[in-house]
Amino acid sequence: MNDAMMTNVRLDPRKRPDRVCLFFIASGQAGYFTAQQAHGCGFSRALLSHHVKSGRFIHIRRGLYRFSEYPSSSREHVLAAWLAVGKDVAVVSHESALDLLDLSDIIPDAVHLTVPRSRRSVPSVWGVKIHTTERPIARSERWEREGVAITSPTRSILDAAEKGAGLEQIELAVVQAVERGLASTEELRRAASDRSRRVAELIDGALRKVTA
């Protein structure tokens, strides 16, 4: 469902409960949906509660639900965290973005999300690490994987490096990103030059392994 369709859904909360509408939204979100999305498809709070009690829906956390019959996936917890914090506010980033891009072989110990510094008061969610930034995420730095908004390979690598990710993890991500055509050496060097000297040197060292 595109943004225009989603907007239309949200603007029509008075219609009769439409399961097809809700399932269509949830299908693009690994079976998850927010209370606001359900309301847009005509499901009241009382009706949501009824379906939770009947077993049709699973209540994940406040404001977040899942169709009980929807197949599970290994990374659905990332999408659930993103929806819980706010899909219009947050973007999956750092090690979590590297994992979704298959640029890292380390499983993050938390779901990393980035929000603008001005939105740092987003709700606290267990198992989620919130990063705030004053560097606006440009359109070219906002990608999508498995229905989730994530930072681009270059942005993900630099953010992870800046926050102290392991040297081997960054080197692996750089090598794979360049070899798979997800980022160029020029792009990485140019972007790294806007970060700290430590990060620039780390990226430069990793890029030497690409051309070695």
State mean pLDDT over 123-138: 90
Res. 2: pLDDT tops 70: no
Please state the domain extents for the chain. Answer: 3-67, 76-211
Q: What helix, strand, coil percent values describe the chain, rounded to 5?
A: 50, 15, 35
For 41-88, write each residue's pLDDT tens digit.
999 999 999 999 999 999 998 899 999 999 988 889 999 999 999 888
Residue 78 · residue 97 · CB < 8 Å: no
pLDDT of 15 higher than 90? no
Q: What is the residue-averaged pLDDT of the chain?
A: 89
Q: State the pLDDT at residue 146.
A: 83
Residue 135 has a pLDDT of 87
Residue 212, pLDDT score = 56
